[in-house]
Amino acid sequence: MPSSLFTVSNFSSVNQVINKAYRTPFKHWDEFSWIRSKPMQQDSISGLPFSPELVPLASHQAIATDPNRWMTVLAYRLLAHLQFTTLLELNHVNPVCSALAQGKAPISLTTEQKNDALRIYCDEGGHALFVENLSKKVKETFNLDHSVIGQPQFERTLDRLILENQTRISPNLIKLFFVSISETLVTKVLKDVPSDPRVAPVVRDVINDHAVDESLHSVYFRHLFPILWHHLSPDEQEKIGQLLPQLVWAFLTPDRQYEYNLLRHLGFNKEEAKAILEEVYLPQEVAAEVKQAAKPTLKMFESSDVFSMLSIQQAFADYELL
Ligand SMILES: [Fe+2]
Ligand SMILES: [Fe+2]
């Protein structure tokens, strides 16, 4: 991600001052991060693979009334979450952290901030490793077919947004903002699964190890976001601002393509699969859930003055995030 690919305005003295106020969240990284202090979880999966309440599809009558199907749907949900994590870390978060660590960001970072980006890079590599380890176990335990998962929704949407805007906005700038958003969204999965006593301890422990590290990443990107935003020219803010609500949706919306594939894999025909998904995902409910899950990030946008431009406000309203 060479710096020349970013389209940004000049450094401002205000940004330099804000940046000097940086306080590292990684003071105790050596003692608490998974990669520096914890072993790989080796246990087998004994218990539920996932919290049923976090899998809307599992509550549909066609699934809930068949214990085998129900368990398989939960197991695929775990595998989908793990594969989502691997791709997010390796293909998206780490290329951005690598650029930040090498001083190729569009803003000037202190040595401490660059080294903290490198710490996040190490964390994410560790996450991909423990997630792959657990993926292998869940596939073996429940006899899952990896091809059912496919490319995750967030990656398909991100690729499309980059392609649609390639003549207007630098792809690397879009990727930087996507990562800044995704790193500040702590999902319900990371929050709820570790404390669900029905879920297999190895799954809860892996997701908890991930959540602990991510809570620090979120602090880092919360500090970075307003600096990045105020560094853009008004024209760049307007263009990126139109994309922000779509990036939030890309990360939080249910992956219906994967769930359609899963239903077909479970033996439902095309019409049945589509009908089940329509019953499970009511548009108003999905929009309300995305807005709820996005709350901390929407607050970050607000305190960064993202909504001061009317056209950006409108874009968020169009995506039911205001
Ligand atoms: Fe991570
Ligand atoms: Fe992270």
What residues have their beta carbon closer than 5 A to ion ligand 2? Answer: 214, 217
pLDDT at position 106: 87
Nearest to 133 by CA among 38, 55, 268: 38
The 8-class DSSP code of residue 41 comes to P
CA dist 119 → 26, 28, 77, 101, 217 (Å): 8, 12, 29, 9, 9
Distance 85 CA to ligand 1 centre (A): 7
Distance 217 CA to ligand 2 centre (A): 5
Distance 264 CA to ligand 2 centre (A): 33
CB 124 within 8 A of CB 118: no
Q: pTM for the full model?
A: 0.92
3-state DSSP assignment of residue 199: strand
Distance 266 CA to ligand 1 centre (A): 30
Cα(69)–Cα(78) distance, rounded to whole angstroms? Answer: 14
Contacts of 144 (CB under 8 A, 6+ apart): 72, 75, 76, 79, 138
Cα(222)–Cα(243) distance, rounded to whole angstroms? Answer: 18
- What tokens were used for 34? 């998974």
Distance 274 CA to ligand 1 centre (A): 32
The 8-class DSSP code of residue 26 comes to -
CA dist 17 → 8, 92, 302 (Å): 19, 29, 20
Cα(212)–Cα(207) distance, rounded to whole angstroms? Answer: 9
Distance 201 CA to ligand 2 centre (A): 22
Give the number of whichever ligand sits closest to the CA of residue 93. 2
Distance 110 CA to ligand 1 centre (A): 23
Cα(143)–Cα(124) distance, rounded to whole angstroms? Answer: 27
Range 58-318: architecture per CATH: Orthogonal Bundle (1.10)
Cα(135)–Cα(249) distance, rounded to whole angstroms? Answer: 25
Distance 208 CA to ligand 1 centre (A): 11
Distance 222 CA to ligand 2 centre (A): 12
pLDDT at position 6: 47
Query: Cβ–Cβ contacts within 10 Å for residue 270, how many?
Result: 10
Query: Cβ–Cβ contacts within 10 Å for residue 216, how many?
Result: 20
Distance 93 CA to ligand 2 centre (A): 7
Distance 299 CA to ligand 1 centre (A): 22
Sign of CA dihedral 134, 207, 102, 235: positive
Distance 184 CA to ligand 1 centre (A): 11
Distance 183 CA to ligand 2 centre (A): 5
Distance 89 CA to ligand 1 centre (A): 6
- What tokens were used for 217? 């990443």
Nearest to 93 by CA among 282, 272, 260, 221: 221
Relative orientation angle of helices 153-164 and 171-182, to the nearest 10 degrees: 150
Cα(288)–Cα(320) distance, rounded to whole angstroms? Answer: 8
Query: Cβ–Cβ contacts within 10 Å for residue 287, how many?
Result: 15
Tell me the longest C-alpha to C-alpha distance in the chain. Answer: 63
Q: Which residues partner with 199 through β-bridges?
A: 48
Cα(316)–Cα(311) distance, rounded to whole angstroms? Answer: 9
Distance 60 CA to ligand 1 centre (A): 31
Distance 127 CA to ligand 2 centre (A): 9
Segments in the chain below pLDDT 50: 1-14, 17
